[in-house]
């Protein structure tokens, strides 16, 4: 059996490596719009061949979409228009509502399995791909009831082989939860980086004085804008909702500092510390 991964950056490249490492498919091929990235993916052994979409549709039993999310709905529709009953299409995008709404009435909708593996780093491109990247990370499968049983079972088998716990959600639930636990982290990191760059004009001071706390908080600001701008816009209303709450909490903390409200600050931070009980 053959698989084709479309988009050989951090997520797609790591997934291609995982399929190869686990021996889940006899051959793993790739599609990459950047010739430089395609060549690098071959050099790094992420895939065995770079193919065209026509070749992928002709040869592959599994086609994986790992492109930026603004490309996925159109590409998914294009593939579903030509997909065979024995082929499976899956996506790995961070947002799901727009994709699921666009393909909802497609006659071949049942060959799609919509997924979101909850893993990523601030790095991008084929060089960012990692072996065993997904082990222990949760994957969300959306609208599983709309996928054919055989397609769903095959995708579940893949994720189980990678050691990934599976959660099932509607597309709306997935996008709402991801806004709060993933997307807000990135937009906050971008905002912090912009704040520091605006206020701290001496770059050597940023480099010399930045401690571990700043470095870990701003790490996500290194993420690829071409990946994250589409995510923020596709999940616009959920992102705006979480931003309103985030700004509200910042305003509360600001007022406490303005008023020298030590007890209020202590209570607020103790409440925030409860996140440790959940994450640890």
- List the domains of the chain with CATH numbers: 2-170 (3.40.50.720), 174-279 (1.10.3660.10)
User: Who contacts 19 (Cβ-Cβ below 8 Å, separation ≥6)?
Assistant: 3, 5, 25, 28, 158
- Of 24-38, 124-138, 217-231, the range with the lowest mean pLDDT is 217-231
Report the candidate in 90, 36, 97 with the shortest Cα–Cα distance to residue 67.
Answer: 90
- Please state whether beta strands 62-65 and 2-6 pair in parallel, antiparallel, or not at all (unpaired): parallel
Q: What pLDDT score was predicted for residue 170? A: 97
C-alpha to C-alpha distance for 1 and 176, rounded to whole angstroms: 36
The average pLDDT across 1-25 equals 96
C-alpha to C-alpha distance for 11 and 120, rounded to whole angstroms: 7
Task: Look at residue 54 and tell me whether its pLDDT is greater than 80.
Answer: yes
* Beta carbons within 10 angstroms of residue 89's beta carbon: 26
- 280 DSSP β-pair partners: none
User: Who contacts 71 (Cβ-Cβ below 8 Å, separation ≥6)?
Assistant: 230
C-alpha to C-alpha distance for 19 and 118, rounded to whole angstroms: 17
**Three-state secondary-structure class, residue 26:** coil
pTM listed for this prediction: 0.90
Q: What pLDDT score was predicted for residue 276? A: 84
**Residue 17 confidence class, pLDDT cut points 50, 70, 90:** very high
**Residue 204 confidence class, pLDDT cut points 50, 70, 90:** low
Q: What pLDDT score was predicted for residue 107? A: 98
């Amino acid at each position: 059996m053959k698989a084709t991964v479309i988009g050989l950056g951090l997520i797609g490249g790591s997934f291609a490596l995982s399929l190869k490492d686990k021996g889940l498919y006899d051959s793993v091929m790739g599609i990459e719009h950047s010739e430089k990235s395609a060549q690098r993916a071959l050099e790094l052994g992420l895939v065995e061949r770079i193919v065209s979409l026509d070749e992928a549709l002709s040869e592959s039993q599994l086609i994986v979409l790992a492109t930026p999310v603004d490309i996925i709905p159109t590409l998914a529709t294009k593939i579903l228009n030509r997909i065979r009953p024995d082929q499976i299409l899956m996506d790995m995008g961070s947002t799901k509502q727009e994709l699921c709404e666009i393909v909802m009435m497609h006659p071949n909708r049942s060959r799609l399995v919509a997924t979101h593996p909850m893993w990523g780093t601030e790095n991008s491109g084929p060089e960012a791909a990692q072996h065993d990247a997904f082990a222990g990370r949760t994957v969300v499968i959306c609208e599983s009831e709309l996928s054919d049983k055989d397609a769903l079972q095959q995708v579940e088998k893949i994720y189980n082989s990678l050691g990934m716990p599976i959660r099932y959600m509607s597309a709306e639930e997935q996008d709402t939860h991801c806004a709060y636990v993933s997307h807000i982290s990135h937009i906050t990191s971008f905002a912090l980086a912009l704040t520091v760059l605006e206020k701290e004009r001496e770059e050597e001071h940023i480099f010399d004085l930045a401690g571990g706390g700043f470095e870990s908080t701003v790490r996500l600001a290194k993420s690829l804008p071409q990946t994250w701008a589409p995510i923020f816009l596709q999940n616009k209303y959920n992102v705006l909702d979480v931003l309103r709450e985030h700004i509200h909490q910042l305003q509360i903390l600001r007022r406490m500092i303005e008023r020298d409200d030590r007890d209020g600050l202590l209570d607020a931070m103790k409440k925030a510390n409860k996140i440790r009980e959940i994450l640890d």
